[in-house]
Chains A and B, each alone.
Chain A
């Protein structure tokens, strides 16, 4: 099983939470700059993207932002060249019809009409 942010919350590029005391971004890593105040200097914060284990922890604590899903299994690519077997395009057509078509083609060649 894998974990991901629900579609409804994908539009928040700076979606952030704290997991095991660490600040993490859920949609993408980003850098955030804060303005300084009289008591606090300006700050630039880099928020890393949550790891799979952190996403799992967020899901398991019951956060509605994250969902569990089953990863689609990749099929092994088939070697179509080796599998190709040319088939007779006239297979199944009665022999009489084939002969009739052949003879008709000889007697009446197609002409370009004026």
Chain B
């Protein structure tokens, strides 16, 4: 993208700045056939089949987040965005074991996070008009899940955590698809 500077003002207009995530959807990158987008806003997904986006409903206890902290190599070099999401599910059992193992074996994942402020951001995918289907996975490091399962102490909560990490060349795109439309895919 060419150098473009745009005025920005978050003092007036009061944008919704509530942090955190409500819930997410996950699919394999290879199950996405194509996307349509307008200015880094994904307006449509076309999938290899139906029902490939799986809904992830985790605890709403102020733990879930999606962050992408940009960094430049040697301060002024190439820019990249290590993307990280943390999704925490209550419980510690055999079913959670299977889910953790299954997710950790996936090599390239895409997450759609529904933020608390209602915005919907896509982790693990970059818009690329030159690529087949109009997208690629995260260009610098693939997006994968690292599960953790902690019983913790009796004074705490037992949980399964998905730490989702990948590194992209550009900031994560948003989508204007509604949760109903995502679930219809």
Contacts and interface: CB of A to CB of B under 8 A. Distances in A.
- Asked whether A and B interact, the reply is yes
Given A18-B44, A63-B46, A32 B34 contact: no
Contacts of A32: 49-51
Interface in A23-50: 23, 26, 32, 34, 38, 45, 47
A92 interface: no
B173 interface: no
B50 A47 contact: yes
B45 A17 contact: yes
Interface stretch (B2-10, B35-43, B103-111): B35-43
B49 A14 contact: yes
Contacts of A47: 50
Given A34-B51, A58-B44, A63-B44, A18 B181 contact: yes
Contacts of A45: 50-51
B36 A18 contact: no
A15 B48 contact: yes
A34 B185 CA distance: 13
A47 B33 CA distance: 17
Contacts of A15: 33, 46-49
Given A15-B46, A16-B47, A47-B50, A23 B185 contact: yes
B181 A21 contact: yes
B54 to A, nearest CB: 10
Contact of B50 (A8, A9, A16, A63): A16
Contact of B38 (A9, A16, A34, A62): A62
B184 interface: yes
A17 B44 contact: yes
A58 B47 CA distance: 13
Contacts of B132: 8, 64
Given A15-B49, A45-B50, A62-B134, 20 more contacts: A14-B48, A14-B50, A15-B33, A16-B46, A16-B185, A17-B46, A17-B185, A18-B181, A21-B180, A21-B181, A32-B50, A45-B51, A47-B50, A61-B43, A62-B38, A63-B34, A63-B35, A63-B44, A63-B46, A64-B133
Interface of B: 33-38, 43-51, 95, 132-134, 177, 180-181, 184-185
